[in-house]
Structure 1
Amino acid sequence: MKLYLVRHGQDTLNKRGGWSQEPLTQEGIKEVELLSQKIKDIKFDYIIASDLQRTVQTANIIRSRLLFPKDIILDGCLREVNNGLLAGMDNELALEKFPNLFWNTLDWEESYPQGESPTQFFERISNWYQNFLSEYRTSNNVLIVTHQGVIDILLCIINNKSFSNKKVHYKIKCGQMITIVIE
């Protein structure tokens, strides 16, 4: 199976992401349209996306450009880390209310206020991946539209690398895709 991991297009830059419901910016829409052109000849068996607005919007643009006949499968397990109270918060306000609170400053077991810890996030994505393999292993081409943090964890799992929230192991730009062959 070939797994195509797509990071959503650019969303609002002045707000915290995570579980925010920010839409794509005009730049983000252009990024996704350009990606759609590059992948127009791939025949996908499934398109699966996080259920947050920026990924749903990304998946819908791709689906319409590819004339993909099936519905997109929305999956809340593919959401970015749950950053709780910070989700969608203006960056300046977040710095004021939660100074020095960032993904890479959390301890492994420390949660965002009303959100997830790095270990909870890792376990959620790891469990999702095991379930995904059970259900879709016989597929040829599956497109997953998700977030930087999710892609980072998935690539660590697939490549047997240790994951830590202290650094980004696999950086992928907004509106970009990585292809992985799963044996």
Structure 2
Amino acid sequence: MEQTWTELFYQETDAGKRQALLAQNSEKDNEAAALFREKLWIARYGKRSPKKDIFVGCLMELKYLSEGSAIDFGGKKRRQAAQIVNMLCLSGISEQPEECREILLSELKNVFLSFMKISREGRGFTSLVFGMGQLSEEGVTRKIAEQISAIAFRTPHFLHMDKEFALLQEAALLAFRQEYPNREHFLKK
């Protein structure tokens, strides 16, 4: 069975190839879906040619929020997390049509796929102590699961923002299940 352009679009992790797919096929979308995909594209990569992925940066910020103290003095971490909710276009998504929710879910899944690809390809990520030796495939899987657990589950939970990050959590599960089938037990939800 041939994949649709949207399936190809959301499986592709290279921003340039994604931009080409979007440009070639956006007229096949209904107007509302095309406008929402365009809005997400601008939120993720900016208006110019894609140089950095803002959504992956948001995942890294969530990871850093989880690494500090579990105490949120003055609500600074919660304010940062609320900014991330806005940057990831999660605020108000429950009021949007179901089609927009599905598009955002697919986009966030793609963000996690990109994050996992970047992590797996990073030499520092897959190496053991001081760059000596390499982690096994099982070790890499556990390390990625730990990071995704921190980003999608631990941080929203300790900030009492599980509702705001529910779609991100769903996307994280979908991406992890796709890349590591039968390994979901590594995630700490």
Using the size of structure 2 for normalisation, the TM-score is: 0.31
Larger strand percent: 1
Larger helix percent: 2
Q: Which has the larger radius of gyration?
A: 2
